[in-house]
């Protein structure tokens, strides 16, 4: 997984509970055969290669709630679709329609289909070609009422276009003394950024036309702004009137004050009709009009037991359509068998990766930000809006589930972790992404000596709420519904145990290489399609070289516990009782010496029980101060003609550094991270070759990570180690609408 920094010090993958409203099953659908009450807005669409165009799918039949509709392309090499499914309802504020982006990938044709139980939907013929399609501009409304001294808003849209990028539209008022737009311009592009919100200020009683002009476009019909002395109450609605979740999980839904002006501090009460089935949090929210006011609030609907209930919202002077809540028994779309071949109990942990939030209409927001960091959005089903510190509020996939909430695995035993069937990000086609790891030496309160993560509960129910603290071996995956999954084993930030990771079925066709549905970290070599992946012995002999050429010995890569003898050492021969010489966590983890907080890292080698191995990169991440990080890797130094210090070469972050296996615009030798062909240690997958290699990286970093690659030739040892470490797999037949259903096995300590 390219340039992933799955380290606890830099990325807080904070887990939560299941969320939102798309990608769900269940609900009530039409039982009639061949019903034509579900239609696209057109029979044909033309899209520019490399851009997108929009379709609309509308439910025209009444009496339907929560209809799940799968959206597919018959030729995914020509065109893809976003989202992959919609949930429609025919009651008021259902919604009863959804916007679908058709993404042009190569010139040709494809059929865009919509599939729902009991409906016969005429497909749309999509043609992908090279020419730009200009489209047209329009306001979302012909007129809007604005309270004097307040604001209201409308949307300006670029419709029916494809291939248009960064169109600057000028906004104006015919009577700016009466009403005027706050924004002077709006920048639109085909696809996800084809709309902008226009805030209109009401300045004096009267009427004014709001206009939009852009070079080469016919100006749309002006929007008439009516400034009045009274408030415009607007309406209140849920973003979806069909909410799905499962016992022990929750879903997110937006409650929004729409088209209002002059409304402030409106209190809305929230309650489910059956608290035993589902509950809502918070039970009240305060809404106000205006661009800078809180017009919507995000609600968490938690499932307690299987059944159906209703979520009601009440506010004085408003009639609000309730939402149906379906709490369904948990079923898994995908599973992981976690096998423990270690000599002691492990506690498996999992951490979800980030994913894009969704707008109230179900379309991709184009950002992972949510909550107060991106108002008016919710996280996709199976993910939660989580406080990620300085990064703000971000959508992260929830941790994998175990039906018994038991994450402890005895030696030579296994458990199953599952991805709920409702988990799906339709904008990116993600079913789930994240990593799995083996926690060790855990106590009854859920605190672990190795790979610790914050937990909700102690004992066997140890669901992680943060990522694992390195050093830790990570089994990483991005699971897709319509395309191949990508997965790997990463020891970039050190390791604690050996691990192998691959699909349950690993048979190859003669044309497949072991990088297709193979086993990352396998203790056996694999040959297929003319490619051989070397076996991973999972034995390590750490060694390296300082910038001045002096050797770096094993203790500087060895992680030891702080409960050993604590005897200063230079190698393990000076330790007793089976202890090893190495760095404790406190020796390399720098904290400010304030009050009772431990002192900064001292980089002293001491004797202790061996827990795993550090990587030089992780030692840098634990103290990113070149003046105080005294580890022997020369982080503050600059090698040769490099414009970057050695710490930057170890971090290998983009920017400023890029992969050496695929060149980026403006890339040079000196801003390349890597690359190497690994000589006889590892094999590059077909299609990969060294395009650019940084001699400074080869001199500084490569000698200090080679020992990790020797122990696991198919593992990621630095962020751009894709060529020899990235695997893909799916079981989808070309042209089929059946989703990828590949299941996997992760084995910890496969060498035992």
3-state SS, one letter per residue, for 189-252: CCCCCCEEEEEEEECCCEEEEEEEECCCCCCCCCEEEEEECCCECCEEEECCCEEEECECCEEE
Calculate mean pLDDT across residues 580-590.
93
Structure tokens at 316: 């004085």
Give the pLDDT confidence score for residue 1 in this predicted structure.
52
Give the pLDDT confidence score for residue 598 in this predicted structure.
57
Calculate mean pLDDT across residues 316-324.
94
Contact 214, 168 (CB under 8 A): yes
Domain ranges of the chain: 38-129, 136-228, 235-327, 345-399+420-528+726-748, 544-657+694-711
Calculate mean pLDDT across residues 219-232.
95
Rounded Cα–Cα distance for residues 259 and 698 (Å) = 60
Contact 104, 52 (CB under 8 A): yes
- Could you give phi then psi for residue 315, rounded to 5 degrees? -150, 140
Task: List the beta bridge partners of residue 171.
Answer: 212
Quick count: other Cβ atoms within 10 Å of Cβ 626?
14
pLDDT tens track for 526-572: 999 999 999 999 999 999 999 999 999 999 999 999 876 789 999 99
Give the pLDDT confidence score for residue 507 in this predicted structure.
67
State how far the alpha carbon of 635 is from the alpha carbons of 175, 260, 546, 558, 643, in Å.
Answer: 62, 57, 10, 19, 14
pLDDT tier for residue 312 given thresholds of 50, 70 and 90 = very high
Contact 14, 739 (CB under 8 A): no
- What does DSSP say about strands 332-340 and 744-748: parallel, antiparallel, or unpaired? parallel
Rounded Cα–Cα distance for residues 447 and 649 (Å) = 33
CATH homologous superfamily for the domain 136-228: Immunoglobulins (2.60.40.10)
Give the pLDDT confidence score for residue 20 in this predicted structure.
29
Rounded Cα–Cα distance for residues 727 and 16 (Å) = 28
Rounded Cα–Cα distance for residues 106 and 75 (Å) = 10
Residue whose tokens read 């919202």? 313
Structure tokens at 324: 């149906």
Indicate the burial class of 317 (C-beta count within 10 angstroms; 0-12, 13-18, 19 or more). exposed
Give percent of the chain above pLDDT 90: 69
Q: Which of 722, 698, 720, 702 is nearest to 710 (CA)?
A: 702
Residue 594 has pLDDT above 50, yes or no: no
DSSP 352: E
Give the pLDDT confidence score for residue 381 in this predicted structure.
86
Structure tokens at 586: 């406190």
Structure tokens at 277: 């089935």
Give the pLDDT confidence score for residue 82 in this predicted structure.
84
Rounded Cα–Cα distance for residues 25 and 422 (Å) = 7
Rounded Cα–Cα distance for residues 255 and 298 (Å) = 7
pLDDT tens track for 127-172: 999 999 999 999 999 999 999 999 999 999 999 999 999 999 999 9
pLDDT tens track for 62-120: 888 888 898 989 988 899 888 888 889 887 777 899 999 999 999 999 999 999 988 99
Residue 3 has pLDDT above 60, yes or no: no
In CATH terms, is domain 235-327 a member of 3.30.300.30?
A: no
pLDDT tier for residue 640 given thresholds of 50, 70 and 90 = very high
Contact 601, 619 (CB under 8 A): no
The span from the first CA to the last CA of the chain, in angstroms, equals 27
Quick count: other Cβ atoms within 10 Å of Cβ 90?
19
| CATH code linked to domain 38-129 | 2.60.40.10
Sequence-distant (6+) residues with CB within 8 A of 263 are 231, 232, 233, 234, 257, 287, 288, 289
DSSP-based three-state secondary structure for 99: strand
Residue 295 has pLDDT above 80, yes or no: yes
Give the pLDDT confidence score for residue 240 in this predicted structure.
86
118-122, 607-611, 645-649: segment of lowest average pLDDT? 118-122
Prediction pTM value? 0.80
Backbone region of residue 250 per phi and psi (left: phi > 0; alpha: psi in -120 to 50; beta: other values):
beta
Contact 111, 124 (CB under 8 A): yes
Q: Calculate the CA 320 to chain-centre distance.
A: 33
Quick count: other Cβ atoms within 10 Å of Cβ 40?
19
Residue 199 has pLDDT above 90, yes or no: yes
Residue 13 has pLDDT above 90, yes or no: no
Contact 727, 742 (CB under 8 A): no
DSSP-based three-state secondary structure for 648: helix
Sequence-distant (6+) residues with CB within 8 A of 708 are 491, 495, 540, 613, 615, 715, 717
Q: Which of 239, 233, 318, 244 is nearest to 277 (CA)?
A: 244
Give the pLDDT confidence score for residue 27 in this predicted structure.
39
State how far the alpha carbon of 472 is from the alpha carbons of 315, 498, 549, 619, in Å.
Answer: 51, 10, 29, 13
Helix (H), strand (E) at residue 152:
strand 151-159
Task: List the beta bridge partners of residue 136.
Answer: 159
Calculate mean pLDDT across residues 234-246.
89
Q: Which of 267, 414, 427, 402 is nearest to 346 (CA)?
A: 414
DSSP-based three-state secondary structure for 744: strand
Rounded Cα–Cα distance for residues 652 and 639 (Å) = 15
- Could you give phi then psi for residue 704, rounded to 5 degrees? -100, 0
59-63, 265-269, 453-457: segment of lowest average pLDDT? 453-457
Rounded Cα–Cα distance for residues 325 and 343 (Å) = 46
Most confident of the ranges 209-218, 281-290, 508-517, 597-606: 209-218
- What does DSSP say about strands 474-480 and 430-442: parallel, antiparallel, or unpaired? antiparallel
Give the pLDDT confidence score for residue 248 in this predicted structure.
74
Task: List the beta bridge partners of residue 610.
Answer: 560
Q: Which of 206, 204, 129 is nearest to 162 (CA)?
A: 129
Task: List the beta bridge partners of residue 450.
Answer: 440
Structure tokens at 432: 């789930």
């Amino acid at each position: 997984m390219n340039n992933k920094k799955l380290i606890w010090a830099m990325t807080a993958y904070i887990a939560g509970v299941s969320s939102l409203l798309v990608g769900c099953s269940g609900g009530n659908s039409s039982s009639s055969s061949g019903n034509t009450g579900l239609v696209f807005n057109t029979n044909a669409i033309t899209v520019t290669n490399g851009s997108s165009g929009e379709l609309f799918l509308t439910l025209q039949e009444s009496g339907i709630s929560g209809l799940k509709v799968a959206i597919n392309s018959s030729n995914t090499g020509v065109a893809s679709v976003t989202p992959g499914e919609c949930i429609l309802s025919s009651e008021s504020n259902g919604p009863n329609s959804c916007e679908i982006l058709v993404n042009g990938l190569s010139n040709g044709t494809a059929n865009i289909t919509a599939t729902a139980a009991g409906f016969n939907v005429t497909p749309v013929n999509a043609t992908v070609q090279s020419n730009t399609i200009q489209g047209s501009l329009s306001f979302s409304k012909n007129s809007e009422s604005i309270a004097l001294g307040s604001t209201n808003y409308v949307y300006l849209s670029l419709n029916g276009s494809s291939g248009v990028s960064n169109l600057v539209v000028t906004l104006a008022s015919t009577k700016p003394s009466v009403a005027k737009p706050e924004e002077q311009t709006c920048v639109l592009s085909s696809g996800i950024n084809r709309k902008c919100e226009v805030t209109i200020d009401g300045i004096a009683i009267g009427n004014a036309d709001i206009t939009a002009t852009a070079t080469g476009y016919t100006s749309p019909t002006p929007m008439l702004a009516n400034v009045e002395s009274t408030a415009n109450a607007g309406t209140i609605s849920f973003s979806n009137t069909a909410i799905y979740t499962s016992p022990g999980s929750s879903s997110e839904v937006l409650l929004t004050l729409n088209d209002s002006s002059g409304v402030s501090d409106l209190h809305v009460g929230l309650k489910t009709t059956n608290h035993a089935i589902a509950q809502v949090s918070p039970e009240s929210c305060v809404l106000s009009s205006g661009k800078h006011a809180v017009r919507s609030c995000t609600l968490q609907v938690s499932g307690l037991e299987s059944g159906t209930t209703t979520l009601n919202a009440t506010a004085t002077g408003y009639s609000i359509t309730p939402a149906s809540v379906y709490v369904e028994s948990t079923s898994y779309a995908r599973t992981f068998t976690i096998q423990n071949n270690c000599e002691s109990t492990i506690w498996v942990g999992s951490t979800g990766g980030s994913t894009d939030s969704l707008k109230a209409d179900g379309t991709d927001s184009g950002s992972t930000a949510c909550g107060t960091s991106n108002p008016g959005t919710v996280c996709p089903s199976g993910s939660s809006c989580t406080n990620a510190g300085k990064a703000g509020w971000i959508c992260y996939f929830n941790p994998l589930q175990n039906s018994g909430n038991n994450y402890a695995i005895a030696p030579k035993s296994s458990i199953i972790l599952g991805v709920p069937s409702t988990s799906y990000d339709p904008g990116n086609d993600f079913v789930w992404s994240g990593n799995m790891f083996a926690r060790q030496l855990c106590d009854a309160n859920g605190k672990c000596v190795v790979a610790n993560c914050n937990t909700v509960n102690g004992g066997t129910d140890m669901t992680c709420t943060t990522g694992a603290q390195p050093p830790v071996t990570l089994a990483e995956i991005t699971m897709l519904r319509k395309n191949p999954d990508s997965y790997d084993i990463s020891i970039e930030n050190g390791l604690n145990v050996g691990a192998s990771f691959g699909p349950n079925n690993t048979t190859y066709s003669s044309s497949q290489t072991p990088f297709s549905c193979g086993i990352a970290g396998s203790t056996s070599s694999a040959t297929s399609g003319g490619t051989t992946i070397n076996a991973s012995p999972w034995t390590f002999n750490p060694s390296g070289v300082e910038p001045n050429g002096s050797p770096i010995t094993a203790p500087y890569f060895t992680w030891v516990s702080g409960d050993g003898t604590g005897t200063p050492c230079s190698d393990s021969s000076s330790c007793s009782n089976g202890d090893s010489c190495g760095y404790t966590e406190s020796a390399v983890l720098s904290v400010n010496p304030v009050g009772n907080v431990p002192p900064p890292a001292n980089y002293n080698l001491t004797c202790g029980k061996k827990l795993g191995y550090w990587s030089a990169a992780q030692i840098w991440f634990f103290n990113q101060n070149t003046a105080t990080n005294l580890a022997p890797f020369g982080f503050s130094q600059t090698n040769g003609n490099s414009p970057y210090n050695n710490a930057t070469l170890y971090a290998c972050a983009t920017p400023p550094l890029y992969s050496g296996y695929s060149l980026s615009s403006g890339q040079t030798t000196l801003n390349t991270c890597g690359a190497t062909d690994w000589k006889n240690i590892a094999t590059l997958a077909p299609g990969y070759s060294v395009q650019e290699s940084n001699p400074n990286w080869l001199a500084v970093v490569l000698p200090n990570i080679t020992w990790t690659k020797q122990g696991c030739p198919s593992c990621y040892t630095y962020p751009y180690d894709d060529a020899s470490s990235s695997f893909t797999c799916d079981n989808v037949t070309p042209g089929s609408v059946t989703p990828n259903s590949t299941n996997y096995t992760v084995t910890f300590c496969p060498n035992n």
